[in-house]
């Protein structure tokens, strides 16, 4: 009986170790597939109260978007890396957008909504909302130093991740990560 119990415990320990190794390997593989500059925070962080306007010129804030996971992308039409990632953000909105998730691109163009509208039309961006901060103060308020800057915001309005620089937002790895957040 003792040898049977010992054998059971040995098999259990081996299976447990294999399961732990599989989970750890999967997490490492996912982390290796994400952009190196994508930082997921250990704890949610409060976000400065930022203000912007929508396509109709209405005053908006992040609180207006609360209740869903938000990928807040701070960008400008004159920023070459920003321009490059907009099609992937548009595709990501098609893939994941809905009541639980939204890609929210916030332009800091001084030209306002007309600059964004023209860029969207010229580049076939059809699925993203248009938000603008003509003052450009959003970058400073959010502690950024460069564009593009993207924050992953949870349903309660807290920052749970951040990336400075461009990314291919519609890759399977990023899509899987974002789905796990909502």
| pTM for the whole structure | 0.80
d(C-alpha 182, C-alpha 177), whole Å: 9
* CATH superfamily of domain region 36-181: Glutaredoxin (3.40.30.10)
pLDDT digits (tens, 9 = 90+) for 42-83: 999 999 999 999 999 999 999 999 899 999 999 999 999 999
Q: Which of 143, 150, 113 is nearest to 130 (CA)?
A: 113
Q: Spell out the long-range contacts of 29-32 with Cβ–Cβ below 8 A and sequence spacing 24 or more.
A: 30/173, 30/176, 30/177
Q: Where are the beta strands (DSSP E) in the chain?
A: 38-45, 51-54, 59-61, 69-75, 101-107, 131-132, 149-153, 159-164
pLDDT digits (tens, 9 = 90+) for 88-108: 999 999 999 999 999 999 999
For residue 1, give both structure tokens.
């009986």
**3-class DSSP state of 47:** coil
pLDDT digits (tens, 9 = 90+) for 152-170: 999 999 999 999 999 999 9
């Amino acid at each position: 009986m003792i040898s049977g119990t010992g054998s059971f415990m040995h098999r259990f320990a081996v299976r447990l170790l294999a399961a732990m190794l599989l989970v750890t390997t999967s997490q490492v593989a996912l982390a290796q597939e994400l952009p190196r500059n994508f930082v997921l925070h250990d704890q949610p962080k409060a976000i400065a109260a930022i203000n912007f306007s929508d396509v109709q010129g209405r005053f908006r804030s992040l609180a207006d978007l609360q209740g869903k996971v938000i990928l807040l992308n701070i960008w400008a039409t004159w920023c070459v890396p920003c321009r490059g990632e907009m099609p992937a953000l548009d595709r990501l909105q098609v893939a994941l957008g809905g009541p639980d998730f939204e890609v929210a691109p916030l332009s800091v163009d001084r030209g306002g909504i007309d600059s964004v509208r023209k860029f969207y039309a010229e580049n076939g961006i059809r699925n993203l909302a248009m938000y603008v901060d003509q003052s450009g103060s959003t970058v400073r308020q959010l502690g950024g130093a460069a564009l593009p800057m993207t924050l992953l915001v949870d349903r309660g309005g807290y920052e749970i991740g951040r990336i400075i620089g461009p990314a291919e937002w519609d890759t399977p790895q990023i899509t899987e990560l974002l789905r796990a957040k909502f």
